[in-house]
Structure 1
Amino acid sequence: MKFIYTCVCVALLFSGTVNAQQANRQDTVISSYNPAELFAPLFYKYRGSQNHSANGAPGPKYWQNRADYILNATIDTIANTLTGNATINYKNNSPDKLDFLWLQLDQNTYKADALSNSFTSYVAKERTRGYEISSVTVTVNGKTQKANYLVTDTRMQIKLASPLNADGGTISINIAYKYTIPGTFGNRTDWNQTKNGKIYEIAQWYPRMCVYDDAQGWDTLPFLGSGEFYLEYGDFDYKVTVPTGMIVAGAGELLNPQEVLNALQLARLANARKSDKTIMIRTADEVLTATKTSLKGTKTWHFKMLNTRDVAFGASSAYIWDAAKVNLPNNKPCLAMSVYPVESAGNDAWGRATEYLKESIEYFSKKWFVYPWPVAINEAGTAAGMEYPGIVFDGITDKGKELYWVTAHEIGHNWFPMIVGSNERRFGWMDEGFNTFIDVYASDNFNGGEYAPKRDDEYAPKGGYPADEIVPTILDPNAPTIMSIPDATPEKYRHPITYFKPALGLVMLREHILGPARFDYAFKHYIETWAYKHPQPEDFFRSMENAAGEDLSWFWRSWYYNNYKLDVAVIDARYADKDKKRGLNVTIANKEQMAMPVKVAVKFKDGGIMYKRLPVVTWIQNKIAVINLETIKEIASVELDPDHEVPDINRANNSIKVK
C-alpha cells in the first residue's frame, strides 16, 4: 500500500580503539537495563528443520503448493460489472492429504454483512453484493462433478469427496461468477469517472487459492481490509473483454497485440522497446478520437504472466499510453509503461511516470534482485498507492516528488512481497517495512537526488531526524510491536509500526550495526534464497545472522518483538589522574532496556572532532562503561550519538563539558 517514509543516511567514520570496562566506583546511576535479559540465549522458538534450515534457508524438504490459473473476464461498462470464469489447476506438494480446499473471495468484503464492517478503519459507506457464484465444479482424474462448497465471508471451503493426494496430487477447480465493481469506495480496486471515460482498476477479481504451508496449514485469515495478501505462485493465462475503444493495461505479456492495437500503436511499441526516452503509444488527441468513434463492439485482450502470485489490470477509453525500455543487468527485454487520463498529463505530473518507473526498476534490479517480468505498468486512478505483480495503481492527481515516491514504493513491492512471497496478512512489516527501507536509497539515487531525501510531511517535519521521530511511538505504552498482525494494529499506529519502525531498523542495521558491505551481502542473500518462496520471520532473522556472521538476537528482541527504549547518558568526563597527557576517561551509562552501538564525538578546544565507537558488546555485562580517549589535546566536550542515528529517548543527557 501507499507509504510515506524517509530517512537521512549518514556514513560513519571512526578512528582509534575503545577500551570499555566496568566503572570502578559505586553505581549510583538509576538504570532499568538488564543485560542478562537483552542478551538471553535461546531466542528462536524452533530449531532448524528439514523444511526451514537453521541457517535461514529453505531446508532440503521444503515444499510449497502451486496454483495455475486460466481466467476470462468481461466488463460491462454500463452496469459496471465483471463477469468471470476461473479455472484453477492446483497441485498439492505438501506431505499431507487434503480433505478440503480453501479459497479467498475478497470481493465479499463489500457486502453489507461482511466481517470487515466491524473493522472500523476500513468501513465503506457503499456496498455491493460481492461474488455472485453461478457454478463451482472440481475435476480429478478427468472426472468432473459439482463441488460441495460453503462460503463464509471472504472465504470459500470446498469439501472434497475424497482427499487430494499428498506429494503431487492435482485437482482442477472451475468457478463461474460475476460481481459489481465497487466505485471509488473500493479502496484497492474500483472504477472512477474522468471526462473522457471511466477508468477501471481491477484487482482481487477472481477466486484465489489460500496458502497451505508448514506454518499454519491452511492460512484462512479473512480479508478485513488492512492485512493484505498471501498467495501461491503459478502461471496465469487470462483474457479481458471490453468495448473496442478501451485500452487494457494488464500485468504480464500481451499475447495478441495485432488483434487489439492498430498499426501505429504497434510501431510505437516497437520503438519504445529500444528507447531509453519515453515514447507515446497513444496520445491525448487519439484519446479524444477513440472516445468519439470507437466504443462499439468488443475486443478481447489476452495476457500471460509466468511464475507470479497474482495478476491485476486497468481498463479505460481515457488512457494516454506511453512506454520506454528498462535496462536490466541480465539484458532480458523489459518495458516500462504508464497509462493515465488527460487530466494527469504534463511533465510536472504523469508525463514523467514512466521515467520514474523505469529508473526505480533499474535501481532495484542492480542493487538487490533482477526484475523478472517482461512488462511493468504504472496506472493512474483513485485506488492510489496499491501494488500487484507487474502493475501498480497510483494517484490520478499525484505530481512531482509525490508521484516519484509512490511509484518507487509501489513498484518496490514487486520485490517484497511479489518476489519474496511473505505473508502480508500476518506480517505486514515483511513487505511494507522492507520496501520502505529500499525506497530510501532509491530516492538518493534517482536523478542525482532530485527527490532526496524522501520525507513524509505528516510524520517527519523538515529537519527532523528519523531516529528521533520514532521516539514518541516507542514511548507510547499503547503502541503495538512490529510483530503485531496488521488487522490488530490501530490506524494511529499503522504507518509508524508497519512501515516506519521496521524500515528505520534496517537502516540502523545497515549503517550503524553491520555496515553496508555486510548488510548488503546478507540482505541480497535473503532475497535470492527466498525468491518465489514463503519465508517466515525467523527465516529472515536466521538468514541475516548467518550471512552477516553476527548474533543479532538482542536487536530482533528489542526492536521487533518489543518496543524497548534506549537512553544512553554520559555521566562523567575527566582527565585521567587530572593529567590531560594521560587522556580523558568518559563514563557512559545505559539506562533503559535497549542497547545499541554508541558513537562518541570528542570535540577539541581547537575546533577539531574525533569519533570513537562503543560496540554493542560493551553492554553485554555492564550498565556502565568507562572509556579512555587517548589524546593529549585539550578537550571541550563529549557528545553521544551526535548525528541522531539511534532513537535515544533523552538527549538532554547525551553531552557533557570537560572542565
Structure 2
Amino acid sequence: MNYFKSSLFLTLLVSVFSLSIFAQEVDYGNQHLFDQFTYRQGNVYRTASGKPGPEYWQNSADYVLDATLDEKSHTVTGNVIIHYTNNSPESLDFIWLYVEQNRFTENSRGTLTTPVQGNRYSGDIEGGFELSAVSAKTKTGTSSKYLIDDTRMQVFLDQPLAAKGGEVTIEMSFKFKVPVHGMDRMGRLDIKDGTIYAIAQWYPRVAVFDDVVGWNTEPYLGAGEFYCEYGNFDVKITAPANHTVVCSGVLQNPKEVLTKTQQERWAEAEKSDKTVYVIKPSEVGKPSAHVKNSGMLTWHFKMENTRDVAWASSQAFIWDAAKMNLGDGKSGLAQSVYPKESDGKNAWNRSTEYTKAAVEFYSNTYYTYPYHNAINVAANVGGMEYPGVSFCGYKSTASSLWGVTDHEFGHNWFPMIVGSNERRYPWMDEGLNTFINHYSTVSFNNGEYDTRMEGPRNLIPYLKSDTREGIDTSPEVAGARNLAYTAYYKPFAGLYLLREYILGHERFDYAFKSYIKTWAYKHPQPNDFFNHIESAAGEDLDWFWKGWFYGNGNIDIGISSVKPYTNGGYLITVENNGQIPMPVELQVIYSDDSTESVKLPVEIWQRGNSWTHLLKTTKEVKRVVFDPNKIVPDVNILNDTWNKL
C-alpha cells in the first residue's frame, strides 16, 4: 500500500512536471487580453453599463466673485464667496480648495520640480496668493481656521458638514501679482498699445470630492490640468476705464460699459454670419472706443452650470464678433479680441470665423454648445481653454491659428461639458478632443487645412521608440517629449481605430454621442467611458482597452503564407507577431485585377498567434494586402503584403 502511494505520487509528479514544461512551450499570444476586466463592475454610483448609478452624486459650488485689476502694479485684488453643497453620503469635517496662484512662488512644488533649463510649464516666482478674512459659515456657526500647503488650502468647519445636502458658505479676500509667464495658461503681454492680461486660476476654488478617491488634492505642478465642480458664477471685474474686458459668461451691463455705437454693432453681430467689428483697428486707443477714459469701470458677467470662468482685459484690443448657429434653434456669439500686432490677412482677422466654425461643428455633430459666448483671446499663451474663453498665441496665423483655435474650443466638450479629471487622466480630455478636432478640420471650409493627424500610422516612429510610454502614464511622470503622445495622439489613434476600423461609423458615433449626453456636467472615470462605449456599441472591447490604453505593446499583423487548397481556393495564413490583437481586414487582388475584401474578427487570436482562413474562389490570387486603407498603426509594414512570385 505504501509502495502504491509512493509510485502514484511519483507518477503524478512527473505528469505535472511534464505538463508544466509543455505549458511553457505553448504560446497563447494575446489570449490574456481577452480575459474580462473583473474590476470593471458596477455599483450604486456608477453602473456596469457606463452610466451614473441610481445613487450617483456630486457636490456643487456656486461663486460670487468681485475683482479689481491694478495696471500699475499688475495685481488682481478680489473677494470670493463660495456656496458649497455636500451631496455626498458622508459628512465632511473640512473643505479642500485649490489656491493655484501659489504655484508662482520660489518654493512651490511646481517650481522645485521644473528642470533648470525650463519647459513649457515654467512660471514666474514672484507671485502667490495673499489671503485674508477667511471664514466658513454653516447653520451651526462660523470657523476661521484654515491651513495652506503649496497649492492646496484646507478650510476647517465648526461642525462636520451634513451629508446629502449640508451647506457651507466660504468667504475670503485674495490678492496676487499677475505673472508674465503663467505656465502657458495665463499671463500678461506688453505690446505697443498697452498690456494684455489673460487671467485664469485666479480665485480660490473648491477641489472635487467624489466617490472614487474622496478629496482630489493633487498639487498643481505643471502638465496636469484641472478637475472642478459645477456651479453658477456671478462675476464683477473692475478694470481701468479705457480697457475692454471679456469673460466667460454673459455680459449683464452692456449699456454701462459699451458705447452706443458698440451696442449697435453688437446687436448687428448677433444676427450676422459674417464677422462684424465691435472695436475697429483704427479705433484702438482712441477716446471714442470707451464710455469713459479715466478712472475705473466695472463689467458684470454671469454664467450658469459651469466649472470655471476666465477673463482678459486690455486697452489694446480690436474686438469683432459673429453669430453662431448652434442647432436646436439656438444661437450664440463668437468673438475675438486681439492687438494690432495680430491683425492682418489670414491672421487674427479670421479668428472669429475659425471660432464660429469650430463651435458650430461640435455643437451640431456631438452635443449642443451650452454657453452663449465663445471668445478667442490673443495672448502670450500658446493655447489654453476655459469655459467659453480660449487664450491662443497672438502670433499664430493661418493653419496654426485654425489648429489652436479649433483645439481649444473643442475642449468645451471635453472637459467643460463632460467633466473628467484632467490632472489624473489627460487622455480623457486631450485625446477625445484631438479626435473630434480631426473631423472638424476635415469639415472646415472643404478641407482648407490639413489635419494634425492624417491617421494612426503617423504614430509608428513613436510606437517603435524604446522610450515610449503608455496612455495611462501620469502627466506629471510622462517624459516631456512623450506627453503629446500619451495624452493626445495615442488616445486619438485609439478612437480613430474604433471608429474607422473596429466598430464602424454608425456603432461608434451612437456610442460616443451617448457617452457625451450621459456624462454631461458629471464626472466620468476611465471605466465609465470603457463601459459606456461597450454597452452602447454592443461589443466586448476589453482586449482593446487593455492593449491600447493600459499597455505599451504594439500591433504587428502579418501575412505568412498564401497557398492553393486541394479542394479549390486558397489557404491564407496570418500571424500576430505583436502584443495587441486586431480584427484583420485583407484585400485580395486577383490576376484579372479584380479585388475582394476579407474581414476576420478579432476572436481569431483568442487561442494563439496564427490563423488560417480558407478563401473560396476559382480565380488566381496574385496579391494579398493587410489593412489596405492603411488605418492600423502596424509597426512592421514589411509583412503586410503577400505577392505571388
- Given the two structures, how large is their TM-score scaled by the length of structure 2? 0.93
Matches within 5 A, 1:144-223: 145-223=142-220
Check the 8 A contact 1:55/1:542 in 2, yes or no: yes
Secondary structure of the residue aligned to 2:285 is helix
Within 2, Cα distance between the matches of 1:485 and 1:470?
Answer: 20
- Displacement after TM superposition at 1:639 (Å): 1.6
1:37 to 32, 35, 57: 32
Q: Per the alignment, in what secondary structure is the counterpart of residue 128 of structure 1?
A: coil
Residues 471, 88 of structure 1: CA spacing in aligned structure 2 closer, same or farther, 3 A cutoff? Answer: same
Residues in 2 aligned to 1:352 and 1:307: alpha-carbon distance in whole angstroms: 30
Deviates more, 1:348-357 or 1:116-125: 116-125
2:303 to 302, 305, 314: 305
Question: Structure 1 residues 310, 52: CA separation in 2 closer, same or farther (over 3 Å shift)?
Answer: same
Give the secondary structure class of the aligned counterpart of 1:56: coil
Give the Cα separation in 2 of the matches to 1:569 and 1:253. 57
Give the Cα separation in 1 of the matches to 2:441 and 2:38. 35
Residues 635 and 446 of structure 1: is their aligned pair in 2 closer, same or farther, counting only changes over 3 Å? same
Match of 1:552 among 538, 541, 548: 541
Superposed structure 1 runs of 4+ greater than 6 Å apart: none
How far apart are the structure 1 equivalents of 2:549 and 2:565? Answer: 40
Q: How far apart are residue 295 of structure 1 and its match?
A: 4.1
The secondary structure found in structure 2 opposite 1:487 is coil
Alignment correspondent of 1:490 = 479
Decide whether the 8 Å contact of 2:136 with 2:155 is kept in 1.
Answer: no
Matched, 1:49 2:43: yes
Q: Which residue of 2 aligns with 1:415?
A: 413
Name the structure 2 match of 1:610. Answer: 596
Alignment of 1:561-640 (within 5 A): 561-577=550-566, 582-640=568-626
1:140–1:170 contact (8 Å) kept in structure 2: yes
Unaligned runs of 5+ in 1: 1-29, 457-464
Q: Is the 8 A contact 1:190 1:382 kept in 2?
A: yes
Which residue of the partner structure matches residue 20 of structure 1? none
Compared CA separation, residues 292 and 63, structure 1 to 2 (3 A): closer
Distance 1:123 1:544, change over 3 A: closer
Task: Give the deviation of 1:477 after TM superposition.
Answer: 4.3
* SS of alignment partner, residue 376 of structure 2: strand
- Could you tell me whether the CA contact under 8 Å between 2:28 and 2:607 is conserved in 1? no
Give the distance between the partners of 1:360 and 1:250, measured in 2 at CA.
19
- Deviation, structure 1 residue 485: 1.8
Does the C-alpha gap of structure 1 residues 123 and 227 become closer, same or farther in structure 2, counting only changes over 3 Å?
A: closer
Give the percent of matched residue pairs that are identical in Structure 1 and Structure 2: 45
Is 2:99 the partner of 1:99?
A: no
Match for 1:241: what amino acid?
A: T
Q: Which moved more, 1:159-168 or 1:525-534?
A: 159-168
Residue matched to 1:504: 493
What CA deviation, in whole Å up to 9, does each residue of 1:416-451 have, x standing for no partner?
Answer: 000000000000000000000000000111111111
Counterpart secondary structure, 1:328: strand
Counterpart for residue 109 of structure 1 = 103
Q: CA deviation at 1:125?
A: 6.2
Q: Aligned letter for 1:376?
A: A
Provide the residue aligned with 1:529 in structure 2. Answer: 518
Helix, strand or coil: the match of 1:509?
Answer: helix
User: Which residue in 2 is equivalent to 1:3?
Assistant: none
Q: Which amino acid aligns with 1:616?
A: V
Aligned to 1:288, what secondary structure does the other structure show?
A: coil
Asked if structure 2 preserves the Cα contact closer than 8 Å seen for 1:33 and 1:590, the reply is no
**Alpha-carbon distance, 1:224 to partner:** 0.3
Deviation at 1:376, TM superposition (A): 0.8
**Offset of residue 472 of structure 1:** 3.3
Corresponding residue for 2:390? 392
Q: Distance in 1 between matches of 2:563 and 2:577?
A: 21
Give 1:347 deviation, angstroms.
Answer: 3.2
* TM-aligned CA deviation for residue 650 of structure 1: 1.2
Find the partner of 1:141 among 132, 139, 142.
139
Which residue type is aligned with residue 548 of structure 1? A
Aligned match of 2:11: none
Give 1:70-469 correspondences, 5 Å limit. Answer: 70-120=64-114, 121=119, 124=122, 126-141=124-139, 143=141, 145-290=142-287, 295-451=293-449, 453-455=450-452, 466-469=455-458
Superposed CA offset, 1:430-475 (max 9, x none): 0000000000000111111111x3136xxxxxxxx63333233333
Per-residue CA distance 1:175-232 (angstroms, 9 max, x = gap): 1010000013542110111111100000000001000000111000000011000000
Mapped to 1, the partners of 2:642 and 2:470 lie a distance apart of 34
Mean CA deviation greater in 210-219 or 281-290: 281-290
Task: Name the amino acid aligned to 1:94.
Answer: S
Q: Which has the higher contact order (CA 8 A, sep 6+)?
A: 1
| Amino acid across the alignment from 1:398 | S
| 1:117–1:123 Cα contact (<8 Å) kept | no
Asked whether the equivalents of residues 283 and 289 of structure 2 are also in contact (C-alpha less than 8 Å), the reply is no
In structure 2, give the amino acid aligned to 1:288. G
Cα root mean square deviation, aligned:
1.7
Residue identity in the other structure for 1:88 = I
Residues in 2 aligned to 1:364 and 1:123: alpha-carbon distance in whole angstroms: 29
C-alpha change, 1:379 and 1:129, in structure 2 (3 Å) is: closer
Matched residue count:
616
Higher radius of gyration, 1 or 2: 2
Deviation at 1:33, TM superposition (A): 5.6
Asked whether the equivalents of residues 51 and 58 of structure 1 are also in contact (C-alpha less than 8 Å), the reply is yes
| CA positional deviation for 1:123 | 6.0
SS of equivalent residue, structure 1 residue 172: strand
**Displacement of 1:286:** 1.0
CA contact (8 A) 1:245 1:291 kept: no
Structure 1, 394-403 or 480-489: larger mean CA deviation: 480-489
TM-score normalised per structure 1: 0.91
Rounded to whole Å, the distance in 2 between the matches of 1:606 and 1:455 is 38
Look up the SS of the partner of 1:327 in the other structure: strand
Distance 1:527 1:292, change over 3 A: closer
Matched-pair contact (CA < 8 Å) for 1:75–1:81: yes
In the aligned structure 1, how far is the partner of 2:457 from the partner of 2:28? 20
Question: By how many angstroms is 1:142 displaced?
Answer: 8.0
Check 1:324–1:44 CA distance in 2 against 1; reply closer, same or farther (3 A cut).
farther
Point out where structure 2 has 5 or more consecutive residues left out of the alignment: 1-24
1:657 maps onto 2:643 in alignment = yes
C-alpha contact 1:468 1:648 (8 A) present in aligned 2: yes
Alignment deviations for residues 82-124 of structure 1 (CA, whole Å, 9 cap, x no partner): 0010000000000110001100011000100000123234563
Quick one: distance in 2 between partners of 1:449 and 1:46? 40
> Cα 1:44–1:417, aligned 2, differ >3 Å: closer, same or farther?
farther
Which amino acid in the other structure matches residue 37 of structure 1?
H
Contact residue 110 and residue 124 of structure 1 kept, 8 A? no
SS of the residue aligned with 1:371? coil
Please give the secondary structure, in 2, of the residue aligned with 1:488: coil
| CA distance 1:228–1:185, change in 2 (3 Å) | closer
Indicate conservation of the 8 Å contact 1:290/1:317, yes or no. Answer: no
Contact 2:104–2:126 (8 Å) recurs in 1: yes
Give the conservation status (yes or no) of the 8 Å contact 2:145–2:156.
yes
Q: Are 1:470 and 2:459 an aligned pair? A: yes
Amino acid at match of 1:124: S
Bigger drift between 638-647 and 331-340 goes to 638-647
Rounded to whole Å, the distance in 1 between the matches of 2:121 and 2:51 is 40
